[in-house]
Amino acid sequence: MSWIRNCCHWLFGSDHKKKQLDSIVLPEASSENMDQDAPEKLLKGLDSHKTQKGDFPEEDEWNYGIKDEESEWKELFHPGKHQSPINIDSGSIINASNILKENFYPLEFHYSPHIKKGKFNSKTLHIKGDFGGLSLKSPNNKEPRKFNVAQFHFHSPAEHLINGNRHDLELHIVHKEKEHSNLLVIGILFKNDGKRNAFIDTVMESTEHKTEIDLYQIIEKDMGLYYYEGSLTTPPLFETVLWFVSSRVNSLSADQLDFFARRWLKNPEFVGGKGNYREAQPLNDRSIVYFN
Ligand SMILES: [Zn+2]
């Protein structure tokens, strides 16, 4: 289960959280992309369980490529048509409020602070621990599904693009569903605007010594979320991930960004200084639904 070391985190209730949030990417969502059975079709992933058979490679058994790492990954891991990350194009987003009668928000967070030490491996900074989890609800009123945080980790620069723009840093909070192969990953974007981010400060401190980390420093219960069905962004690229990417872009100071960038993006010995991200993958027949 070495893959689980490589992946994602949340919060609400912290009074300082809003101060960290410097900008909001508002979707220009419309109903033009709907079809007749839209809610059932677009949101079926919230109810469906996926299984995936195969082995997870050790982190040192694959590499990011300078140009097209996919050529090697495709041969080794046979990715399908629903890969991640993607470019989130505001013109193709479907607003949930346009397809659902009632105000519906799919995630209910049950996080708890935890004292942990963060560790760099050869690909990322990851923190694994008992940070609680979340409930995933669907509009069909089925029993909520329970996911627990497995770990969280970082990519710099970011993996998901917003209208073609790549931000400086992306946090992935990886949740695993009990007794199923499904993962639920929350992606949180950051950009260097000169303002210190309190959550990132605790993460940085945790690499020195055990530190209490509270995901509610960076997660807000009603934050805007882009939802789509996708994959792991690292081998074995299994298409078992329910993705929720926050529409809010969080602040980051220059030295906080450098804490990550000097290891990956600015490090010529790390994939020639490309950074630890995978290129955006085609959306194909998928839809992106916006919840807030
Ligand atoms: Zn990741």
How far, in Å, from the CA of 45 to the mean position of ligand 1?
Answer: 20
Query: What's the gap in Å between 32 CA and the centre of ligand 1?
Result: 31
Q: How far is the CA of 84 from the centre of ligand 1 (A)?
A: 10
The pLDDT, as a whole number, for residue 247 is 95
pLDDT digits (tens, 9 = 90+) for 68-103: 666 788 888 888 999 999 999 988 899 999 888 788
Range from 17-31, 35-49, 174-188, 221-235 carrying the lowest mean pLDDT: 17-31
The residues spanned by each domain of the chain are 2-291
Of the candidates 243, 230, 216, 251, the residue with the CA atom closest to the CA atom of residue 79: 230
Residue closest to 153 by CA, chosen among 166, 171, 168: 171
86, 283 contact by CB (below 8 A): yes
Tell me what the mean pLDDT of segment 17-27 comes to. Answer: 41
101 CA to centre of ligand 1 in angstroms: 34
Q: Tell how strand 211-213 and strand 165-166 pair up.
A: unpaired
CA of 233 to the centre of ligand 1 (A): 6
Instruction: Count CA atoms within 13 Å of residue 227 on its CB side.
Output: 22
Whole-model pTM: value is: 0.87
Fold of 2-291: Carbonic Anhydrase II (3.10.200)
Rounded distance, CA 242 to CA 256, Å?
A: 29
Measured CA distances, 204 to 8, 71, 178, 259 (Å): 15, 34, 30, 8
Residue 16 Cα, ligand 1 centroid: separation in angstroms? 26
User: How many A from CA of 246 to the centre of ligand 1?
Assistant: 14
Average pLDDT over residues 264-282: 89
Residue pair 198/18 in contact by the 8 Å Cβ criterion: no
* pLDDT tens string 178-205: 878 799 999 999 999 999 999 999 999 9
**Separation of 279 CA from ligand 1 center, angstroms?**
12
